[in-house]
Copies of this chain bind each other. A is one copy, B any other.
């Protein structure tokens, strides 16, 4: 494997419209979702995870999945080529496939590494979930759509407790054998710390040299950004986050709080990595979202305002923005 620690580019996926809104306590109007997606794309975010083809009975918050995709399609351009959609099963894959001809080319499958998580989430064991995923991957093959996989509760599970790295790598190997393009390891309930993140990052980069390795952190216990720093130090160059820090997972108790995209990306920039993203515009998007949802979002940067390394003009104005 090449040593990714020398690479200076970081690839970022905004997951707020899916992972954030799926756990929002009130229904979020589709136009608010579309505004957030547009803002992220306009700010230079290379990819946005826009929705999930989950059953509306399970997650009514995402019942407008088709509506979101239709609007993005009708906006024209290559928007659908820059989005990813979660497909939890074959039924979801069928729903997503309606948009393949319009440009949608990236779906995401998901499995937790513990039986407890999969049972509560999908009423399946890990093995049964992997079989289901195999069917989804097979169904995607003719369309040449890219299939990524997220690996949930990779550092700990609310039902089965701490998780050993070997178990995580083992589940990921099964996904790799199916031919997924990317493996995203998720700290679904926010119990990871930087030492364990560094360890799993190194293991994953070594094991999956031909596959993209991403990390997805939650800030449930305040370590989301520090964990991202540890992942970068270990050589990971793909991160996920949620504008304003919205979100969580409806199936995991106390899992609120995706790591905040703009807080984390400010750090990524300060560390000297390139993302192609205008963090200042992401901050503005968080401010707009906070206004639209009429609820204080957990992210910090959008409330405090810019930082010296983001806005050279910061020095001139005296204090940060109110």
A272 to B194, CA, bound (A): 10
Within residues 292 to 322 of chain A, which ones have a CB less than 8 A from any CB in chain B?
Answer: 299-301, 304-305, 307-309, 314-316, 318-322
Residue A253 is within 8 A (CB to CB) of chain B in the complex: yes
Say yes or no: A319 contacts B220, CB within 8 Å: no
A77-85, A99-107, A123-131, A156-164: which lies at the B interface?
A156-164
**Chief secondary structure at chain A's binding surface:** loop
Cβ of A19 under 8 Å from chain B: no
B158 contacts A300, C-beta separation under 8 Å: no
Quick one: closest B residue to A266, CB to CB? B221
A219 interfacial by beta-carbon distance below 8 Å:
yes
In the complex, whether A271 has a CB less than 8 A from a CB of chain B is yes
| Contacts A222-B260, A222-B299; A266 near B307 (Cβ below 8 A) | no
Q: Mark out the residues of chain A between 147 and 195 whose CB falls within 8 Å of any chain B CB in the assembled complex.
A: 156, 158-162, 189-191, 193-195
Expressed in whole angstroms, the minimum distance between the Cβ of A227 and any Cβ of chain B is 9
**Alpha-carbon distance between A257 and B222 when the two chains are bound, in angstroms:** 13
Q: Count of chain A residues with Cβ under 8 Å from any Cβ of B?
A: 50
Taking CB atoms and an 8 Å cut-off, the chain A residues in 6-38 that contact chain B are none
Decide if A122 is an interface residue (CB 8 Å cutoff). no
Cβ contact of A162, chosen from B194, B257, B315, cutoff 8 A: B315
Assuming A253-B319, A253-B320, is B271 touching A314 (CB within 8 A)?
no
A319–B267 contact, CB under 8 A?
A: no
A74 CB contacts on chain B under 8 angstroms: none
Could you give, for residues 229-266 of chain A, a 1 whenever the CB lies within 8 Å of some chain B CB and a 0 otherwise? 11000000000000000000000011001001001101
- Across the interface, A221 reaches (CB within 8 A) one of B228, B229, B230, B263, namely B263
Minimum distance in angstroms from A116 CB to a CB of chain B: 8
Q: How far apart are the CA atoms of A187 and B36 in the complex, in Å?
A: 32
Q: With an 8 A cutoff between CB atoms, is A68 at the interface?
A: no
CB neighbours of A59 from chain B (8 A): none
- How many whole Å from A261's CB to the nearest CB in chain B? 11
Return A166 CB to nearest CB of chain B, in Å: 16
Q: Is the CB of A322 within 8 A of B270?
A: no
Contact B253 A223 (CB under 8 A): no
Q: Which of B160, B194, B267, B319 contacts A223 (CB 8 A)?
A: B267
Given A161-B308, A223-B225, A229-B230, 16 further pairs, Cβ under 8 A? A158-B320, A159-B319, A161-B314, A161-B316, A194-B270, A195-B271, A195-B272, A196-B270, A219-B300, A221-B263, A221-B266, A221-B304, A222-B264, A223-B267, A253-B322, A254-B320
Residues of A at the B interface (CB closer than 8 Å) are 156, 158-162, 189-191, 193-196, 219-223, 225-226, 228-230, 253-254, 257, 260, 263-264, 266-267, 270-272, 299-301, 304-305, 307-309, 314-316, 318-322
Can you list 26 pairs linking A and B with CB atoms under 8 Å apart? A158-B318, A160-B315, A161-B315, A162-B314, A193-B266, A193-B271, A193-B309, A194-B229, A195-B271, A196-B309, A219-B300, A220-B300, A221-B266, A221-B301, A221-B307, A222-B225, A222-B301, A223-B263, A223-B266, A223-B270, A226-B226, A226-B267, A253-B319, A253-B320, A254-B304, A254-B320
